[in-house]
Amino acid sequence: MSKTIQAFGNNLLEMEENVPIWEDLLGLNGYIAWECVGLPEETQWYFYKLYLRGVKGRAMDLFEQEVLNPLRQKGEEHVKQYFSAIEKNYSQVYENHHTMPEWLWQKIQPVLEQKY
């Protein structure tokens, strides 16, 4: 989070004015408002990873209340399966199915393959 705060000057997850944006990105309003940043499931997976790291903030409270708690009602195993399925879908690097110029792919590929 320190890199994000350094880059933007604030904790974007704590800012009240960002809550409606996080609602959209998490898919809580029933539509994909920000298709350029991916699907709601991708944002939910990212938030889950942040949650597991203990990151706090208003947006994290929103995620826990509106996404995580309803999943928990079906059991912790359901939570794990839900996020494992998302991770499987969205965390793969497709080396042969892209339309990037080769020179660009050669620069991006090593970064995408890093484990965090």
* Helix or strand holding residue 85 (H, E): helix 76-90
The pLDDT value given to residue 116: 57
The pLDDT value given to residue 30: 86
pLDDT in tens, 68-90: 999 999 999 999 999 999 998 88
Would the CA dihedral through 67, 52, 86, 3 be positive or negative? Answer: positive
pLDDT in tens, 19-59: 999 999 999 998 887 767 788 999 999 999 999 999 999 99
SS3 16: helix
Would the CA dihedral through 45, 47, 48, 50 be positive or negative? Answer: positive
Residue 76 is part of which domain span? 2-112
**Size (the chain), residues:** 116
pTM listed for this prediction: 0.77
Q: How many domains does the chain have?
A: 1
